[in-house]
Amino acid sequence: MRYPKEHKQQARQRLVERGGRLAKERGFGASGIDAMAAESGVTSGSIYKHFSGKSELFAAIVSAELQRSANAFSAAAEGGSDGLERVLAAYLSLQHVDEPGRGCAIPSLTAEVARADGSVRAAFQEGLLEIHAVLTRELKSGDKAWALIAQSVGAVMLARAVLDHAIRQDVLMAAKKSGQALMKRGTSGA
């Protein structure tokens, strides 16, 4: 039985979306092809109809996930500093910390990307630079954009790693205050 062309595209999209969610929750290396296939409603063998291997799937996931984050920051930037502050607050929330599968891939997958091949790292770099460009336009400074990205990602990573709820909140609040200060200085032209 032949499937329509859209079926193949939809299966690939499901692999990237659902595989991305699983990778952010468990780690890409720990997820495995079988688990990603099952999560996406396809067979393990069909993954190789869409991707030449696990590395190509990882690159596709990284690219799609970082594009999703860039789109969120871009939409927020259109709303001015209030929109960007709302996105920052959501990024530095306990919900984002507790639900990595629904959040940004950077805090979840960066360590694995650093050990991946060049195609995965290139996809990551391209997506990261797009996020940086959006924030640079809003903050009017590339340095401030890098600082905001680094401290926000680092805060989420630290909050995920500690057990104590109060410490988690302290880390997130400190990053939020620092990010808000960066944004105020950035939009005032200083």
The pLDDT of residue 36 is 87
**Position 189 confidence tier, pLDDT thresholds 50, 70, 90:** very low
41 against 4, higher pLDDT: 41
Read off φ and ψ for residue 2, nearest 5 degrees: -90, 135
Q: What is the pLDDT of residues 17-69, one digit of tens each?
A: 999 999 999 998 888 888 888 888 888 888 888 899 889 999 999 999 999 99
Say whether pTM exceeds 0.85. Answer: yes
Q: Given a cut of 90, is residue 125 above it in pLDDT?
A: yes
- Give the pLDDT mean for 109-121: 97
Contact 97, 156 (CB under 8 A): yes
Q: What is the pLDDT of residues 157-167, one digit of tens each?
A: 999 999 999 99
Q: What is the mean pLDDT of the chain?
A: 91
**Position 186 confidence tier, pLDDT thresholds 50, 70, 90:** low
**Position 124 confidence tier, pLDDT thresholds 50, 70, 90:** very high
Amino acid at site 133: A
Give the CA distances from residue 181 to residues 47, 147, 190, in Å, rounded to whole numbers and listed in that order.
45, 11, 11
Q: Which of 107, 186, 121 is nearest to 151 (CA)?
A: 107
